Amino acid sequence: MPGMGEMNYAEGGNVQDLMKLYYGRLYPHQTMYKWLAYGNDTAKAKHPKADKSFFSRREFCFTLEGDIFVRYQSFKDGSELESAIKARCPSKIDIGPVYNVDPKKRAAYTGGASDAAGGPGLRAFQAVERELVFDIDMDDYDDYLNFTHKEHGWSKCWALMAVAIRILDRGLREDFGFEHIFFVFSGRRGIHCWVCDKRARELTDEQRASVANYFSIYKGIQEGKAKLMLSVPRHPSVQRALDILEPIFVDEMLPQQELLDSQESWEKILQYVPDADVCDKLRERWQNGRRSSTSANGEHEDVNKSRWAELCREVDRCLSRTKDPSKRRQLVKCKDEIIFAYTYPKLDVEVSKKRNHLLKAPFCVHPKTGKVCVPIDPERAEEFDPDKDAPSVAQLLNQLDSGVTNTSMTENVRLFEDLFLKALSRTTQEEMSRKTREAVKMDVDF
């Protein structure tokens, strides 16, 4: 199993055997089935509007020992899914879309071409439904950090993931009206977001791209600077994001990352300031080696925070004496650009755009770290600690061996159900009841 040797399994043991124990005793097979069936599970199969083929049209992808990538797996129900996972013990499970037919039977569908006898081909094999998903990876922040996740772990970086969760969660709810959203730690270096409202699941690829682009203020790096889609005056969603980002940037990222501590680091920030005199004045002060200042209440201030306050004051002074409209817009934007460049979510938009994109399943194990992909409460994202709150398989099995009744896995599954699944189940039941009433009404009217 590639990379599995990197897992921190206590007390030794064969990795494959440990994974079998995990899938056999801890993995929430039926919870996953209840989620992905969206009310069409076998327990509700007697409901007149339940789609008995729905779950069997969902694609699962297993990564097996030897890095064997097996796509287009499908299962008729939760029991069959559970049996397959236990039998094949995949190192990774990815979830794909719901297709118009069982993906295992895709070979019978020709995409509308004529068949060998010259007659019309069968209907095309195509994805018809899929959760709207987002993927954020800490590696995409490396160009802006002095202490990267890769080299220093999560202690100086998690605030960026927490603030990304807050921005996505509020934007998806307030601007798009979505309700059924959950976030998952990816198991190694980032987070995943799943939006599961029916409206979200039925979005076309073009509509998904539009939603992803709405959140894609950060467009990469151009000539050493972040390329950002910001305007003056600020869009309301940008203002909301700034209100979330600014305190995180000032109080956490500046001191933790020491962004204005050295010349190499402060030059990266000064390139956003569109006035050479302001930059020269700040350089001269900072190069004199003044390491800290005293705040208004007499407390000792971190040098990075005090230098940021100096930068803001100088920019504001320059703005007050500048008459040129273009220069004024640049000055108004420059502080926003710095804050957004360093802290705004850096989405992998390609993951969000296509219905047929695969994404790692919640509660599966990351093959490089051995950590379980656990849910995150968006209201308490800042409190989540990947090093402590995302258990490894070894830790979970040790808990079982010690006789613990409820492992940390139990608590994570309960969190998933309480924060997300219960409300989703109520909504799907209401949708089916509504369809039944409408069908009855049509029959009566007819």
Determine the angle formed by the axes of helices 205-215 and 158-174, rounding to 10 degrees: 120
The C-alpha angle with vertex 165 and arms to 240 and 329, in degrees rounded to 5, equals 35
* Residue 212 contacts residue 171 (beta carbons within 8 Å): no
Q: Which of 78-82, 215-219, 290-294 has the lowest mean pLDDT?
A: 290-294
Give the pLDDT band (50/70/90) at residue 123.
Answer: confident
Strand runs (DSSP E) across 14-77, as ranges?
Answer: 58-64, 68-73
pLDDT tens, 193-244?
999 999 999 999 999 999 999 999 999 999 889 999 999 999 999 999 999 9
* Residue 121 contacts residue 112 (beta carbons within 8 Å): yes
- Look at residue 445 in the predicted model and tell me its pLDDT: 58
**Domain covering 4-136+176-213+348-445, topology:** DNA primase, PRIM domain (3.90.920)
- Look at residue 297 in the predicted model and tell me its pLDDT: 52
Per-domain residue ranges of the chain = 4-136+176-213+348-445, 224-343
* Angstrom distances, CA of residue 1 to CA of 19, 232, 371, 374: 11, 52, 15, 22
Q: Which of 116-130, 167-181, 198-212 has the lowest mean pLDDT?
A: 116-130
Check pLDDT > 60 for residue 298: no
Check pLDDT > 80 for residue 7: no
Q: Which of 9-13, 46-50, 108-112, 205-209 has the highest mean predicted lDDT (pLDDT)?
A: 205-209
Please give the average per-residue pLDDT across 257-261, as a whole number: 97
Average pLDDT, the chain: 90
Please give the average per-residue pLDDT across 357-368, as a whole number: 94
- Look at residue 442 in the predicted model and tell me its pLDDT: 61
* Residue scoring higher pLDDT (275 or 441): 275
What distance in Å separates the CA atoms of residue 88 and residue 72, rounded to the nearest whole number? 15
Active site residue 379: no
Please give the average per-residue pLDDT across 376-398, as a whole number: 96
Tell me what percent of the residues of the chain surpass a pLDDT of 90: 80
Active site residue 135: yes
- Look at residue 109 in the predicted model and tell me its pLDDT: 83
Phi, psi of 106 (to 5 degrees): -60, -25
Marked catalytic residue, from 59, 82, 252, 417: 59
Check pLDDT > 60 for residue 183: yes
Cβ burial of 289 (10 Å; 0-12, 13-18, 19+) is exposed
Active site residue 59: yes
* Residue 141 contacts residue 209 (beta carbons within 8 Å): no
| Sign, CA torsion 216/225/162/37 | positive
Return the percent helix, strand and coil in the chain, to nearest 5.
50, 15, 35
- Look at residue 12 in the predicted model and tell me its pLDDT: 42
What distance in Å separates the CA atoms of residue 311 and residue 271, rounded to the nearest whole number? 12
Please give the average per-residue pLDDT across 380-398, as a whole number: 95
* Residue 353 contacts residue 97 (beta carbons within 8 Å): no
Check pLDDT > 90 for residue 24: yes
Please give the average per-residue pLDDT across 405-422, as a whole number: 96
* Residue scoring higher pLDDT (31 or 437): 31
What distance in Å separates the CA atoms of residue 266 and residue 283, rounded to the nearest whole number? 9
Please give the average per-residue pLDDT across 360-371, as a whole number: 94
Question: 243-259 in b/e burial notation, b at 16+ Cβ within 10 A?
Answer: ebbeebbbebbbbbbbb
Residue with tokens 């030897």: 66
pLDDT tens, 306-316?
999 999 999 99
Check pLDDT > 50 for residue 121: no
Give the pLDDT band (50/70/90) at residue 122.
Answer: low
Marked catalytic residue, from 102, 137, 140, 258: 137
- Look at residue 25 in the predicted model and tell me its pLDDT: 95
Q: Which residues contact 39 (CB under 8 A, 6 or more apart)?
A: 47, 50, 425, 428, 429, 431, 432
Residue with tokens 């770290």: 369
- Look at residue 438 in the predicted model and tell me its pLDDT: 75
Which residue type sits at 295? S
Marked catalytic residue, from 41, 135, 252, 261: 135
- Look at residue 10 in the predicted model and tell me its pLDDT: 40
Please give the average per-residue pLDDT across 422-442, as a whole number: 84
Q: Which of 1-5, 46-50, 225-229, 248-252 has the lowest mean pLDDT?
A: 1-5
